[in-house]
Amino acid sequence: MSLYTLTPKPDCARYTIQVGWNPHRTFFATVLDFAWDPVTDPGDEPDAVRLGIGETILDPTDVLIAVEPYAVIPNDLAAKLRADKAAHPPRQ
């Protein structure tokens, strides 16, 4: 399994952004605001992105495109994710 926590873009500091390759043999991405409280801040509901939970994603580009509006994407991250997949390939 791999897990990379990405640096949020300046206007997205409220979010925790993670991507990786998981034991279920799919890439995943999450963009979540763990500090948001609907009671104290009901008018500022955050975005939420969750990929790779109910579907299989075999191309890292798909998850990187999904988190790009929120995070700074390192130039080598797609290659790292492909290497993670190669080290732990999906079951056939």
Convert the pLDDT of each residue in 5-44 to its tens digit. Answer: 999 999 999 999 999 999 788 999 999 998 888 888 888 8
**Cβ neighbourhood burial of 66 (10 Å; 0-12, 13-18, 19+):** buried
pTM of the complete model: 0.88
Indicate whether 92 pLDDT > 70. Answer: no
Tell me: pLDDT of 59 over 90. Answer: yes
- Order of strands, sheet of 4-8, starting from the edge strand that comes earlier in the sequence: 49-51, 27-32, 16-21, 4-8, 71-72
CA 37 vs CA 18, 20, 32, 34, 45: distances in Å: 21, 27, 12, 9, 9
Spatial distance between the Cα atoms of 67 and 73, rounded to a whole number of angstroms:
8
**pLDDT (0 to 100) of residue 26:** 94
pLDDT at 20: 97
